[in-house]
Structure 1
Amino acid sequence: MHQWDLSPFSVTPAASLLSKCVSVGALSQEEIDSASNGTGPVFSSHLQEAEDQIRMQKQLDEMRLRLELLQVDEQSADVAHSFHLAQRFQMLQMLGDHMQELLREQNSLRQRLMKPLACTNLPVHAHLHRFMVESLKLMMDFIETLEEKLSAADSRTAARDRLALLDSSLAQLLIQASEMETLSSQILQWKSVDGCKLVTSDP
């Protein structure tokens, strides 16, 4: 049993103290009854202030608890609510507009890159036309030389492949020739053996 769970017939230290105060005349029974019923003032103003502070602290704790519960409810609100759906729809719409703008820029850039350079109007000054013509000639010569080099490299690669194919074909022919030589020697041996048998068998 807890130390404060006393039987109704036991005398507590507070009761003995109050009885002593009544016996010496420091308190009256009416004051004690009024204080126990809660209708009269408390024994001390400091005790009243302490009780008020405790009460206010409890109220403050309750308000804080309610505020935390409201924050939790707000964070764990239903995502299917119209307010949240409206916000998400607005964000998705902004993202879609941004993606459409990127696609427009990409399409315009692709069209500009696919457009031939001859069709573009380049602002060239008159005194630079001669240099442009010479630059185009040099570019054409470079392209022709590059094509010749590439074709020569391709022909070298093709010739190397053909030589490798000829070497493999020659090796196969040599193998077949050796096999034919072996077979022909075996046939000649069989013929010679058969001739000897025929000669020995004649009377």
Structure 2
Amino acid sequence: MSVLLGQIFPNFTALTNEGQITLHDFIGDSWCILFSHPHDFTPVCTTELGRAAQLSDEFAKRNVKLIALSCNEADMHNDWIKDIESYCNWDKSRKFPYPIIDDKDRQLAQKLGMIDPDEIDSAGLPLTARACFIIGPDKKLKLSILYPATTGRNFDEILRVVDSLLLCSKHKVATPVDWKPGQECMIQPGVKSEDVPQLFPQGHRVVEVPSQKSYIRLTPQPE
């Protein structure tokens, strides 16, 4: 099964290291990042969960909840978290900032298309790929990224993507290549010229191109 952008993300109930959750209830009125990992006690996964923990306060500021998934049981997750906390120098006085789903039977990995057929574990089973799903408060899929098991993700990029999604959900803008918060945005093509002054009171500029078409319209990032 594959989930397309704009579709309602499948709801499910699963055991985590913090107890049972139902995904849509867990999300509530927040945004959510669900990210999967091949296996507990593996090097790349440990770095990824550590970096996600380090950025958890930044995600929380943006009303984004994190939840991970790995094809191991919940008790193993709790043991692994001790290594993750050590690796990323997590403040032990604070609770680890997000739960990890127990998917030892790989049902969710199969259902959500997270399997990497080219990477096999010691038991001969295919590993879970590094999937990343960003789900909105409306429970619809806003973004999906799928990395092979061998390649770690860039969570700073995921945070940048969240900033873009949040901005574009509130204003009729798009973010250009390599955009960072605070930089100029692009006015969406569907916005009529006569509506631009009202929608973008900070002003805008049109980039001249050989076609002489006025489709590249830049504006300061809306507040």
Higher Cα radius of gyration: 1
* Higher normalized strand content (fraction of residues): 2
Normalising to structure 2: TM-score of the pair? 0.18
Higher relative contact order (Cα pairs below 8 Å, separated by 6+ residues): 2
Normalising to structure 1: TM-score of the pair? 0.19
